[in-house]
A = this chain, B = another copy of it.
């Protein structure tokens, strides 16, 4: 079964909004083994929407459409759908009631502007909106299907998860695909180095395919394996994964959609350990990522964002002479920060970062992108040096990623490479 995703909104075509909805839907469809053949972003325009519905039904069995269902005047999707199927809007009691209840729960009044939320095309089944007021639509069109959802991510996601995926499961057997996918997440090596370490890919992959996807957090390696049966494909995938892990396993921190902070959180909880952070150049990003995970209070107790030298001295017990002699961005200060935060917080580990994120702050000997990361435990402290690029926000991401990966490798007992 093939799926076609249409995202509606002028904001997409002027580049004001990044289309995260399409990738969420694509991911969910892929999970239940539908094949997404195309994603299109088109304007809030009745004719463009109708034209794309034609394309979608030509190419695929299921068209998933988001956007333009809100209560304001710029929302024309409902109108386009009614016109495409040559039908009419009818009042839907349930949709109207949903809207009223949703507003009531939030202490808001039901007003004239909300009345349109109770109208649906006559040929549509309502997809309940549990997170907002605009109802979704599920329309059978010959042997094909159309799902129309609001563009607000939280509302769209609930509809995909609660209604569409389960509806699709009742329509066919979507778990029997003989194509399986897995993504191995690496960090710490550029794409070309990773490829070299893997050696002859043809031999390694044995007919399967692999894509390298680099970004500031690392390189993702996506494997796609086909077999005669699903079981055969899964067996083959396992073998390939093992061969890859034997060559670059130390750089692989997770799989598929895992985040490094999730992996670190699980390891910290398993080992019943605690950590504190002393951040200069990342400004709190590492602490924020560590606390993105529910239950983080069991391993994260506190963090210090010591942006100024004064803060480093007062809160982390960094020596003023060391600061004067070596500068704030130095292995010596980084070490004292890691040791200081661990001691003052009484945690098992102390993690510190100091560096120059750009665009200013470089000196003769210290270029933009220079970063030191320190990790201390009861036995001492190890500081590592990194050289990143010249983009401030990307440098913050890279620094936080390498810092978290140092913690991961420490917890797993993976030593630095020779």
Q: Which residues on A are within 8 Å of B, measured CB to CB? A: 9-20, 22-30, 36-44, 70-74, 108, 111, 113-114, 131, 152-154, 181, 183, 190-193, 195-196, 201, 209-215, 220, 222, 224, 257, 277, 279, 282-288, 290-292, 294-297, 300-308, 310-311, 315, 345, 358-360, 389, 391-394, 396
Contact = CB atoms under 8 A, between A and B. Distances in A.
B304 A304 contact: yes
Contacts of A300: 283, 307
Contacts of A279: 284
A292 B296 contact: no
Given A302-B311, A305-B305, A308-B297, A222 B10 contact: yes
14 contacts: A9-B211, A10-B222, A15-B24, A16-B27, A16-B213, A19-B19, A70-B212, A72-B195, A108-B193, A154-B394, A282-B288, A283-B300, A283-B303, A297-B307
B302 A211 contact: no
Nearest to A220: B16
A13 B40 contact: no
Contacts of A286: 284
B288 A283 contact: yes
A200 to B, nearest CB: 11
A153 B215 contact: yes
A-B pairs, 10 with minimum CB distance = A15-B27, A283-B291, A284-B284, A15-B26, A284-B287, A303-B305, A302-B311, A39-B41, A284-B288, A285-B288
Contacts of A17: 23, 213
Given A16-B27, A72-B211, 13 more contacts: A10-B224, A19-B22, A38-B42, A72-B201, A152-B215, A154-B391, A154-B394, A283-B284, A284-B303, A288-B288, A301-B308, A302-B306, A302-B311
A19 B18 CA distance: 7
A41 B71 CA distance: 29
A144 to B, nearest CB: 19
A23 B30 contact: no
